[in-house]
Amino acid sequence: MAMKVEDHAPPPPVGMAARSLEGPRVPWRRTPEGRAQLLGICMFSPAVLYLAALIGVPLVLAFVYAFTDVKVGSASSHWVGWENFRSILQSPSFRQALVNSFIFTIVSQVLVIVGSTILSLALEDKFHGRGFVRFLILLPWVAPISLGAIGWKWILDSLYSVINWVLVALHFYKPFSAPMWLGEPHLAMASVILVHTWRLLPFSTVILLAGLTAIPKDIPEAAEVDGAGFWRILFQINIPMMLPIINVAVLFGIIFTFTDMTVVYILTAGGPFDSTQVLPSLAFFTGILAGDLSQGAAISLFLVPILVIVAYLMLRMAHRAEIT
Amino acid sequence: MAVVETKALTKVFKEGEVGAVNNVNLQTREGEFLVFLGPSGSGKTTLLRMIAGLEQPTSGEILIGGSVVNHLTPRERRIAMVFQSYALYPHLSVYNNIAFPLKAQGVKRELHRQKVEWAAELLGIKRLLDRKPRQLSGGERQRVALARAIVREPTVFLLDEPLSNLDAKLRASAREELESFHKRIGTTTIYVTHDQVEAMAMGDRVMVLHQGHVRQIGTPTEVYDRPADTFVATFLGSPPMNLLENGDAIVGFRPEHLLPIELAQKAATTFRLRVKNTEYLGAEWIVYGAVAGGKFDGKELISRLGSAASFEADQTYDFGVREPDLHFFDRQTEKRTEAKVLAWR
Amino acid sequence: MQRGALRAIGYHAARWAVVIVFAVLLAFPFYWMLITTFKKTADLYTLENNPFIFNLPPTLEHLRLLFGQTSYLRWVTNTAIVGVLVVAITLVLALPAAYALTRLTGRWGQRIGIGIFLTYLVPPTLLFIPLSRVVSLLNLQDTIWSVVVVYPSFTVPFSIWLLMGFFKSIPRELEDAAMVDGLTRLGAFVKLVVPISLSGILTVVIFTFTLVTQEFVYALTFISPESQQMLGVGVPTFLVRGDVYYWGSLMAACLIASVPIAILYNLFLDRFIAGFTVGAVK
């Protein structure tokens, strides 16, 4: 099924003559190969230009803003050097947001990987109703993030939480003393992590399932014949063979969680007392709501190191996959 | 080393449909190389997988070394299997591939190196121990698969068409390696293939399967020279045996026995053949012709000759078959019968 | 046979247990949305009542409120319009680009492909601040056109990636045969490759549409007026009057928006997976 990669040598500069079999020199751009390349350039240029304009330019602007004093509604802006960075690094809400971003991402990713590994193994073999089960399992990922988050806000409501009702009914708590899921700092953090995990589990499961089904049936059977039991096959054969795909799922999961502001914005708006603030939500509150674009930009730039690391890891994986 | 037996072994995948394996009774001999031969869909792989424990029989018994093993997992049956794709663990080195069964069976760590090196030495792959499967050629992979199988010193070897993924040239040398391997090890081996050349070359005995039924078990000589029914007769031998219907019998003779009349002394029967096509294969000729005149006028026959004889298209020549080279089958049952009188002369 | 059978039963039971637990945990919020939608307000806000059953008879009052007295339908319409426009723009940009990158450009084309993939990793939460400025400069602020222009920035990389996966699976020989028969490259693309890839294109359409419906940050940043807002932002923002959450209508809104998208998504999931893994791990 793998397509052969076209392995042409880089084309000579346009305009340089190419020797055709018949002898007379033909400009490269007129040769079939040259024409094909030109057509290719024409075909992807619109997309590339569009992306350069809507991603490249704003990216550069983000850096520019971070070093100036742009505010919403201000006409002029001045270079301020590292001032923005200095002031946000001193701000406790920023420090908390930075820490939270890492904690939320790492904890939810661990939960997601463990959960989706278990779930994808359970879903591997066909069974009656697997389609319907898959529909149910995918709901958290497919529903718009904000709507899922609002659903959880209702479930975790301080007064009417259904979870609390059950806890009280089972006599774990007295009425009115059940946990304030979104009102108490540590519980609020746990709630945010829970919602992120809930949302990413389906995505990760689907990817892992694809990885599982890609393992040729022969190999676990050979392991069975070789004497391996269920757990050995799982940990020494299946999971190692799924590692590239697990990596893909993890890296995407990290990006989706680390750069997400919606869950926090809707569940807790960063509260209580900034305890669930994360970098993207803080950037939003600072930049858009409070109007300090340059500080907002500076905050959001702290996302970049993680993105660069993830991008590097993904490229390295893709490169390795190509060699093997 | 053990004897593998099956008693009335049957496998039906879907209720109401024809079984993939029907009522198979077999018994291997100690140390023999037994080939399951048959076209695709004949049930030979299913049969092998049931013996391995990868497939559960619908009914019947499987015995290894005299004990019933139906309820045992593959791991518990002490068999080794080489898959068509070799199923090498891609993420492990050759050394770890071979060591895997030892780890899985709880063999002491200290013994691993010794056993792996022994197996690798046996198959001449010691220098490959640090490589990964993707760095190996097809033939090398086969040897690693065999090393992994032998390292456990199993009582029975099961091989599922291991040569079919190799290209033609490699196949011949790989086949020879398997044969000498078996001579050295002497473990009871069951080998599945659809290639009758492999079956004849390698097997001590050949078991011919068709649609889940055993048609014949015998030595290569027996299945070739005395096929038990028309299926075995036409499946073995290339080009296939010529068959003619005559009354309530079917008469058959192999292309190499359909000779020009000068060579077929005391022919029991002769034909006039109009040559339609000839193929020169270097070492031999294949002549395709149609009978001209007589009871079988128009019937197509194939002859196989070694000489530098020349035949021209559309010419007729006289061919004959000697009495001992004739096979007779009952028209109804298609099974082999006694020689009958030829009633068309 | 007994030991084997017992083990098999054990596996099946464990498997079912895992599946049921996860399915319940993951789908529960939607079940909860369903119940809340039809429960009378009085029932919802009475603490003593068992929330799992209907203590008072079910009602349609939340639905009536949602459709009659809020801008919900407006948001749905806005989102649908934006969806269609963005899908069109995305196809126009992504189809030729994906084809060119798969067939026409060799090694450095692959590098560009990687570059495009990398842009997908640049999140809206990094770009939204500069983009808000750009949007206001272009005077698109507070209109749906702001998102129509900006959304392709994440749907296009994703679509190119998916489409490359589909195009790679079409044997090159088909286009070669067409060109031998007299079509130009471009002709082969339009008349041969595109029709063959229709199912892949449809997959891209569906997933682009779902990406549009799920988006939050840009819509929140660029659009303020209630009547112009998207579904994902309108529901959590405007169905709250002051501090009071109209939970019944809110849950109804969430449910009605989520389920159709989920159904569509499921229908095309297998194709999506094929494209995703081909694109990701190359």
Q: What pLDDT, on a 0 to 100 scale, did the predictor assign at position A6?
A: 43
Q: What pLDDT, on a 0 to 100 scale, did the predictor assign at position B311?
A: 80
Task: Mark whether B88 and B204 lie in a shared domain.
Answer: yes
Q: What pLDDT, on a 0 to 100 scale, did the predictor assign at position C115?
A: 84
Q: Which two tokens stand for residue B341?
A: 């009188």
Mean pLDDT score, A108-119: 94
**Interface probe, candidates A111, A150, A278, chain C, greatest C C-beta count within 10 A:** A150
Q: Is the pLDDT of residue C110 over 50?
A: yes
Task: Mark whether C163 and C83 lie in a shared domain.
Answer: yes
Any domain includes B175: yes
The residues pairing with B271 across neighbouring beta strands, listed in sequence order, are: B319
Alpha helices in B194-318, H assignment, sequence order? 196-202, 220-225, 230-235
Would an 8 Å CB–CB cutoff place A149 in contact with chain C? Answer: yes
Which sign, positive or negative, has the C-alpha torsion A159, A165, A171, A172? Answer: negative
**Interface probe, candidates A218, A219, A221, A226, chain B, greatest B C-beta count within 10 A:** A226
Task: Supply the CATH number for residue B307's domain.
Answer: 2.40.50.140
CB contact under 8 A, A210 and C231: no
Smallest CA–CA distance, residue A211 to chain B, in Å, is 15
Measured CA to CA, the distance from residue B99 to residue B109 in angstroms comes to 10
Task: Mark whether B196 and B251 lie in a shared domain.
Answer: no
Q: What is the pLDDT of residues C111-147, one digit of tens each?
A: 788 888 888 889 999 999 999 988 988 889 899 999 9
Q: Which of B85, B90, B104 sits opposite A226 (nearest CB)?
A: B104
Smallest CA–CA distance, residue B336 to chain A, in Å, is 40
Mean pLDDT score, C41-63: 82
Q: Is the pLDDT of residue C2 over 60?
A: no
Q: Which of B80, B87, B134 sits opposite A218 (nearest CB)?
A: B87
Task: Mark whether C258 and C139 lie in a shared domain.
Answer: yes
**Interface probe, candidates B49, B54, B69, B100, chain A, greatest A C-beta count within 10 A:** B100
User: Among A16-30, B299-313, C165-179, where is mean pLDDT lowest?
Assistant: A16-30
Task: Mark whether B203 and B243 lie in a shared domain.
Answer: no
Smallest CA–CA distance, residue C13 to chain B, in Å, is 20
- Closest residue, chain B, to C5 (C-alpha): B71
Domain boundary pick from B184, B199, B225: B225
Can you list the positions of beta strands (E) in chain A?
17-19, 25-27
CB contact under 8 A, B152 and A227: yes
Smallest CA–CA distance, residue A203 to chain C, in Å, is 10
Q: Which residue has the tokens 């994360």?
A: A278
Q: What pLDDT, on a 0 to 100 scale, did the predictor assign at position A2?
A: 43
Contacts of B52 in chain A (CB under 8 A): 225
Contacts of B89 in chain A (CB under 8 A): 219, 222-223, 237
Any domain includes B22: yes
Task: Mark whether B259 and B130 lie in a shared domain.
Answer: no
CB contact under 8 A, C1 and B73: no
Which sign, positive or negative, has the C-alpha torsion B47, B51, B52, B54? Answer: positive
What three-state secondary structure class fits A240? helix
Contacts of B73 in chain C (CB under 8 A): 4
Q: What pLDDT, on a 0 to 100 scale, did the predictor assign at position A3?
A: 42
Task: Mark whether B220 and B279 lie in a shared domain.
Answer: no
Measured CA to CA, the distance from residue B37 to residue B203 in angstroms comes to 10
CB contact under 8 A, A227 and B75: yes
pLDDT tier for residue B1 given thresholds of 50, 70 and 90: low
Task: Mark whether B64 and B209 lie in a shared domain.
Answer: yes
Q: What pLDDT, on a 0 to 100 scale, did the predictor assign at position A173?
A: 82
Would an 8 Å CB–CB cutoff place B70 in contact with chain C? Answer: yes
Domain that includes residue B288, residue range: 239-330
Measured CA to CA, the distance from residue A237 to residue A229 in angstroms comes to 11
Task: Mark whether B220 and B248 lie in a shared domain.
Answer: no
Task: Mark whether B47 and B157 lie in a shared domain.
Answer: yes
What does CATH list as the number for A83-323? 1.10.3720.10
Closest-CA residue to B33 (of B203, B207, B160): B203
CB contact under 8 A, B74 and A219: no
Q: What pLDDT, on a 0 to 100 scale, did the predictor assign at position A8?
A: 47
Containing A100, the helix (H) or strand (E) segment is: helix A92-122
User: Is the peptide bond prior to B39 cis by the omega test (within 30 degrees of 0)?
Assistant: no
Q: Is the pLDDT of residue C77 over 90?
A: yes
Q: What pLDDT, on a 0 to 100 scale, did the predictor assign at position B221?
A: 94
Q: Is the pLDDT of residue A141 over 80?
A: yes
User: Among A28-37, B250-259, C6-15, where is mean pLDDT lowest?
Assistant: A28-37
Number of domains present in the structure of chain B:
2
What three-state secondary structure class fits B247? coil
C136 versus A77: the higher-pLDDT residue is: C136
CB contact under 8 A, A293 and C126: no
Mean pLDDT of chain A: 85
Task: Mark whether C113 and C193 lie in a shared domain.
Answer: yes
Q: What is the pLDDT of residues A30-46, one digit of tens each?
A: 777 777 778 888 888 89
Q: What pLDDT, on a 0 to 100 scale, did the predictor assign at position C63?
A: 87
CB contact under 8 A, B101 and A227: yes
Number of domains present in the structure of chain C:
2
Domain that includes residue C41, residue range: 2-59
pLDDT tier for residue B264 given thresholds of 50, 70 and 90: confident
Any domain includes C116: yes
Residue C57: Cβ-neighbour burial (10 angstroms; 0-12, 13-18, 19+): exposed
- Each domain of chain A, given as residue ranges in start order, spans 23-65, 83-323
* Most confident of the following: B65-79, B103-117, B220-234: B220-234
CB contact under 8 A, A143 and C258: yes
Task: Supply the CATH number for residue C159's domain.
Answer: 1.10.3720.10
Any domain includes B116: yes
Closest-CA residue to C130 (of A304, A78, A66, A278): A66
Domain boundary pick from C59, C88, C108: C59
Q: Is the pLDDT of residue A320 over 80?
A: no
Q: How far is CA A109 from CA A41, A221, A256, A311, B295, in A?
A: 40, 31, 10, 17, 82
User: Is the peptide bond prior to C124 cis by the omega test (within 30 degrees of 0)?
Assistant: no
Phi then psi for residue B250, to 5 deg, are -115, 130
CB B302 within 8 A of CB B259: no
Would an 8 Å CB–CB cutoff place B71 in contact with chain C? Answer: yes
- What part of B 235-294 touches C (C-beta under 8 Å)? none
Mean pLDDT score, A176-192: 87
Q: Which chains touch B (3 or more CB pairs under 8 A)?
A: A, C
Smallest CA–CA distance, residue A25 to chain C, in Å, is 23
Task: Mark whether C212 and C264 lie in a shared domain.
Answer: yes
Any domain includes B340: no
Smallest CA–CA distance, residue A120 to chain C, in Å, is 9
Q: Is the pLDDT of residue C280 over 60?
A: no
Q: Is the pLDDT of residue C272 over 80?
A: no
Mean pLDDT score, B135-151: 91
Would an 8 Å CB–CB cutoff place A193 in contact with chain C? Answer: no
Q: What pLDDT, on a 0 to 100 scale, did the predictor assign at position A24?
A: 62
Q: Is the pLDDT of residue A109 over 50?
A: yes
- Closest residue, chain B, to C8 (C-alpha): B73
Q: What pLDDT, on a 0 to 100 scale, did the predictor assign at position C127?
A: 93
- What part of A 208-227 touches C (C-beta under 8 Å)? 210-211, 214
Beta strand C240-241 pairing with B285-291:
unpaired
Beta strand A17-19 pairing with A25-27:
antiparallel
User: Among A179-193, B99-113, C4-18, where is mean pLDDT lowest?
Assistant: C4-18
Task: Mark whether B267 and B119 lie in a shared domain.
Answer: no
**Quick one: what percent of chain C has pLDDT higher than 70?**
93
Closest-CA residue to A284 (of C217, B81, C47): C217
Alpha helices in B151-195, H assignment, sequence order? 168-185
CB B156 within 8 A of CB B79: yes
Any domain includes B53: yes
User: Among A187-196, A258-267, C48-57, C256-265, where is mean pLDDT lowest?
Assistant: C48-57
Contacts of B69 in chain C (CB under 8 A): none
- Which pTM value belongs to this model? 0.82
Smallest CA–CA distance, residue B194 to chain A, in Å, is 19
Task: Mark whether B299 and B176 lie in a shared domain.
Answer: no
C142: left (phi over 0), alpha (psi -120 to 50) or beta: left
Closest-CA residue to A160 (of A186, A174, A146, A181): A181
- Closest residue, chain C, to B57 (C-alpha): C1
Q: Is the pLDDT of residue A19 over 50?
A: no
Angle at B286 between CA B282 and CA B288, to 5 degrees: 150
Q: Is the pLDDT of residue A157 over 60?
A: yes
Q: Which two tokens stand for residue C11?
A: 């596996």
Helix axis angle, C269-281 to A185-213, nearest 10°: 90
Would an 8 Å CB–CB cutoff place C53 in contact with chain B? Answer: no
Domain boundary pick from B225, B249, B284: B225
Task: Mark whether B181 and B273 lie in a shared domain.
Answer: no
Smallest CA–CA distance, residue A322 to chain B, in Å, is 13
Task: Mark whether C98 and C40 lie in a shared domain.
Answer: no
Any domain includes C192: yes
Task: Mark whether C134 and C203 lie in a shared domain.
Answer: yes
Measured CA to CA, the distance from residue A68 to residue B274 in angstroms comes to 99
Contacts of A39 in chain C (CB under 8 A): 100, 104, 185-186
Task: Report the complex ipTM.
Answer: 0.87
Q: In what order do the strands lie in the sheet with B242-246?
A: B242-246, B249-253, B327-330
Task: Mark whether B111 and B174 lie in a shared domain.
Answer: yes
B343 versus A230: the higher-pLDDT residue is: A230
Smallest CA–CA distance, residue C157 to chain A, in Å, is 8
Contacts of C1 in chain B (CB under 8 A): 70-71
Q: Which of A224, A232, A236 sits opposite B74 (nearest CB)?
A: A224
Domain boundary pick from B199, B225, B251: B225
CB contact under 8 A, C258 and A48: no
- Closest residue, chain C, to A302 (C-alpha): C126
**Quick one: what percent of chain B has pLDDT higher than 90?**
52
For C198-264, the DSSP string reads HHHHHHHHHHHHHHHHH--HHHHHH--SGGG--HHHHHHHHTEETTEE-HHHHHHHHHHHHHHHHHH
Q: How many CB pairs under 8 A join A and B?
A: 59
C105 versus C66: the higher-pLDDT residue is: C66
Any domain includes C226: yes
Any domain includes B231: no
The residues pairing with C50 across neighbouring beta strands, listed in sequence order, are: none
Q: Which chains touch C (3 or more CB pairs under 8 A)?
A: A, B
Any domain includes C64: no
CB contact under 8 A, B56 and C3: no
- What part of C 1-40 touches B (C-beta under 8 Å)? 1-4
Any domain includes B132: yes
Any domain includes B284: yes
- What part of A 265-304 touches C (C-beta under 8 Å)? 265-266, 279-280, 283-284, 287-288, 293, 296-297, 300-301, 303-304
**Interface probe, candidates A217, A221, A225, chain B, greatest B C-beta count within 10 A:** A225
- Closest residue, chain A, to B91 (C-alpha): A241
Task: Mark whether C44 and C131 lie in a shared domain.
Answer: no
Any domain includes C65: no
CB contact under 8 A, A225 and B90: no
